[in-house]
Structure 1
């Protein structure tokens, strides 16, 4: 009731004239009544206005934030053969629809390869290098044997930074040599002894035991020659320089992502030999996750820029209202354009003449795919205690404006069933074959070699076996070996 209405009602009430004392008391009572009524009306009006303001704020405020995204996925979501690109999830305020960036065909093919070759553990990530969108993220464990090997990473091995980086770190070492020391792919260093060992005598820290040959950076990268990169670590790159480039490649950094990612860590050396171990990857202290490895490879495909990875495109409510959407963000650009192009050249040498040439031979052999640009880096090392063998590949593929990055790790026991570079080449094929679906399919692919069993004794790394076959030179003087153009260009 409004104040004027109260006054009207009071006027209509006919009462006999009371004594003067009673009149004053009645007036006071009336004033108190009117004040209480007015206060109640004002309180009601203010409360209603505040409620309207809160409702307006709720409409403007997103109900799903970046911090909430991880709760949308079940614990072992990425172990499924068929990961749905769009799914619904019941939240406290209602059901939402989650649209991801997953490409079902690539995801399923990656999972099928893991199941077919059945290593102890497998994890693979495929990214759109230009946007950071995750196109596939697959995990596999071979029963309890796989889960017991690395139990702390069983939820999602793609985000688990507990794998030794091995020779993948040579990407960082090569980038530092190119960017800081002005190296070129043709720059040579003396290498003595076997390519895939690392002894003090090979680094000049002890008396040399072998005659040295001059090896160019391109060949050292393609064949993953440990002494070459060890010398870079001891002689050419200071701790500060190496760490600066490594941090530019997101080591010792919390990578922002829709799901929690463990930060990759660098080995902290205490002497020259440990610096050589760090630079060559000949250690189990530098750790990396498959997602991070794919981001490193994406730099070469995306003109030197690493994009922030993301998995969720958007989230909408039951009415179709958008509650969350992803914006594309740059993470890092650690190298100059000239260094990026040279690093890209080194990575291309790996799949043309180096340790991954067999896995990518099919793409080079076919007319429909031989103009695709591919590159990468292999790596292999035993887990501590010889519990298994880590087999890495991180690389990229490009067909016109389509640019993807891929990283794959397989952990083998006594039986090695397939190389990670082969699995990665199939992921590249699955992504880039969108323009020509007839190219896609395991029936077209180059077959990996038949697996061989080697119980309790791990054979030399893949790099070593390939190097012996591909670069087993005839007896000749070191100077001839260094200056032969064919050796530099094709690896012998």
Structure 2
């Protein structure tokens, strides 16, 4: 071969080698970056090529993909129930997903390894692969009752209802909320505009307050403090006596801890049941200081507070009683103030733990997953998270919480013919905002089917009776929905 031909051959070989090197680099190294690049329009079109599975709750369809009749975008995502379930379903947008749509995305779009056999069958039969269907634990009647009641309050807030024996989440509402339909159109510009409007809204409708925000739990945390006290001495019970001064001196500070409005708590020495019924601050502050930070933190951890991050399957913000400071701070934390921060889901777990004889179940939202032909892919298997207290302690605490509803601050939660257990709360806030109103409850007390926790932001007049007046009726409507009352 003459020299010119050799040079041409070498140049061709070099270019071919560089081409192969580039191909391998793109496929092996840059593939994921290119696939996720927002400028890759193929991803945009592909997202609407697959019929995603449905998201359901009972017999109610919460999300589904419907044919458009358009050759460019074969399917569009639709949310028939809109705002009511948006904090749970989330949305499926041109470039992102949220909540269940994100957490179960690979199942919903059919790409999960768990659907490999189904995809293989579809391939050989020439059938287009469809996504799996995700059925939730949500009770539609409870969800809709919670949404209606919270929305009508005119306040921001959140509610979670749990089945105590399993941990199944029966309702999860956050208000204000949003309509996921405008965020799921095959229109990038339109979706981005709709999303930006929601993201810039100072009321934060995209925020799921039930699991993504923590609040001071106020007097609802006295359930945890009482559990710690009862567990410290098995001779204690509802009729055991405790000092309840009008104001509690806090060590190493000029401040003290008063009862609400500087009011007396009985005659200054009351039963434990009375202290919980009337939500006196001073005995609970004293209990916290006497037990010490380590004991309080340990008891909180037994309810799941400050432990491993929960996923339901969406991640849940961590709750905490705060770091150890001094005795004065501990007294305040023991009544649900200071740096004590809880999600509504966490407080629902506290109520459910008492209801379930001291056992806290791991909360979950997905009941089952089935492929497009109905074949089982996943089925929920209830799992114990922890034992928060002995069965004996739970029985004592349950009795006291029933008295809170029958004799104390939560009479608005009463359901005729049903024994309801509960605890009201008010939580001080920063600035000049009104305190938050809280309520935790479960029913029927003798065989609990539902535990509820809710917060109404700035919904309190400043005392625990406000939790009973504002929040308790909302919880009652949800319990009635679950119980079919």
TM-score (norm 2): 0.64
Aligned to 1:213: 268
Equivalent residue for 2:314, pick from 233, 250, 259: 259
Structure-2 change in CA distance of 1:149 and 1:332 (3 Å): farther
In the alignment, structure 1 residue 395 sits paired with structure 2 residue 398? no
Q: Within 1, Cα distance between the matches of 2:139 and 2:244?
A: 44
Contact 2:355/2:448 (<8 A) preserved: no
Q: Secondary structure at the match of 1:80?
A: helix
Matched, 1:290 2:344: yes
Instruction: State the Cα deviation string for residues 226-264 of structure 1 (Å, max 9, x = none).
Output: 111111122x20222111111101111122421111110
Among residues 102, 125, 129, which one is paired with 2:160 in the alignment? 125
Q: How much does 1:127 deviate?
A: 1.0
Partner of 1:327: helix, strand, or coil?
coil
Which residue in the other structure is 2:303 paired with? 249
Distance 1:112 1:209 in 2: 36
- Where does 1:119-158 land on structure 2 (aligned, <5 Å)? 119=155, 121-141=156-176, 151=204, 154-158=206-210
Q: 2:146 aligns with which of 110, 132, 135?
A: 110
Give the corresponding residue for 2:326. 271
Counterparts in 2 of 1:244 and 1:402: CA distance versus 1, 3 Å: closer
What's the CA shift string for 1:302-348, capped at 9, x where partnerless?
11111111111111121222222211111111211111111111211
Question: 1:326 is matched with which residue: 363, 380, 383?
Answer: 380
When residues 161 and 249 of structure 1 are mapped into structure 2, their CA distance, relative to the original with a 3 A threshold, is farther
Unaligned runs of 5+ in 2: 1-52, 54-62, 65-76, 90-99, 102-106, 112-128, 179-196
- CA shift for structure 1 position 291: 1.0
SS at 1:98 equivalent: strand
The answer to whether the 8 A contact 1:161-1:264 is kept is no
Deviations 1:207-240 (A, max 9, x none): x999972121111111111111111122x20222
RMSD of aligned Cα (Å)? 3.8
CA contact (8 A) 2:137 2:169 kept: yes
Alpha-carbon contact 2:164-2:451 (below 8 Å) kept: yes
Where in structure 2 are the equivalents of 1:350-365 lying within 5 Å?
350-357=404-411, 359-361=412-414, 363=415
Map 1:387-466 onto structure 2 (within 5 A). 387-398=433-444, 401=447, 403-412=449-458, 419-433=470-484, 439=485
Q: Give the secondary structure class of the aligned counterpart of 1:157.
A: coil
CA distance in 2, matches of 1:249, 1:335: 9
CA 1:146–1:249: 2 relative to 1, 3 Å: farther
How has the CA–CA distance of structure 1 residues 312 and 223 changed in structure 2, closer, same or farther, with 3 Å as cutoff?
same
In structure 1, runs of 5+ residues without a counterpart are 1-63, 65-71, 434-438, 440-492
Question: Hey, what's the Cα distance between the residues in 2 that align with 1:305 and 1:385?
Answer: 38
Q: Given the alignment of the two structures, is residue 239 of structure 1 paired with residue 275 of structure 2, yes or no?
A: no
Residues 150 and 201 (structure 1), Cα distance of their counterparts in 2 relative to 1, 3 Å cut? same
Q: 1:48 maps to what in 2?
A: none
Query: Matched residues in 2 for 1:218 and 1:252: separation?
Result: 28
In 1, Cα distance between equivalents of 2:350 and 2:372: 38
Residue number among 377, 382, 390 corresponding to 2:423 in the alignment: 377
Q: What is the TM-score normalised by the length of structure 1?
A: 0.63
Where does residue 337 of structure 1 map in the other structure? 391
In the other structure, the counterpart of 1:303 is 357
**Residue 335 of structure 1 aligns to a residue in which SS?**
coil
